[in-house]
Structure 1
Amino acid sequence: MIKNKTALNWYDSWTLDGSKSKGRAMNNDNMKMYLRAFNNECDVLISKVKFNNFDKIEERIKKCVHALDKLNQRNKISMTKAYLSLKIDELHLVHEYNCKRQEEKEILKAAREEEREKAKLQKEINEARKNFKRTSSL
């Protein structure tokens, strides 16, 4: 979408010093700056998503879009819903991955706990057998 210039809504008839090509270059630079800021902010936010904070991160991404749209109102640049939707989808995928990792951690923790319980029980059984053998040989 970035390559095809469909990630943003933008106005193409700018002129700078009476030149349309300079206006187009200025507009392209503004769009690159918008996308760089948005994508960097999203990368940071998405890297912070955990199994328990998805809604907060999603809200912060939407606030970021709102703030950037507001800052670029005079430049007539705004985020398309489709591009925002892709970022939210990326957030969902990372969130699902993190939830799955959390589940696996809990499963491993439960398995380790069960192993400790089995080892403890086995030790108690062995102790009881030793005590039984001692008492029966007397």
Structure 2
Amino acid sequence: MKKDSDCLPDEKFRRGELLDANCPSREILRRLTSRWSLLVLVALEDNTLRFSELRRHIGGISERMLAQTLRYMEEDGFVERTALDVVPPHVEYHLSPLGADVRGQVVGLTDWIETNLHHILDKRRHTST
């Protein structure tokens, strides 16, 4: 069984560690690939948005879920939070350099989904009938 230290970045990268149930990369994968995290990455793009603006951009996300997602993304270093000292208080969010980097990876997946959506929906309709 691998130890957490077997999966740390200072060790030479080897494919398959993500498949190891004990590798900490699993938790990052779970957080990063959640529907809401992906949508936050897409919505922030090159933007700096306040919480309410971000919530409006991402249709269907609750205030609680957005707050939790942003907390995780900030904790993992994908999003930076800036609290402005104004009345009423404002908080802004933007992608960190790490967040911008991973966003570049995610865009390919989101573009693929949008491009192939009709094929997937057609397959679902044919499978369910």
Same fold (TM over 0.5): no
Which structure features the higher share of helix residues? Answer: 1
The higher-RCO structure (CA 8 Å, 6+ apart) is: 1
Larger Rg: 1
Which structure features the higher share of strand residues? Answer: 2
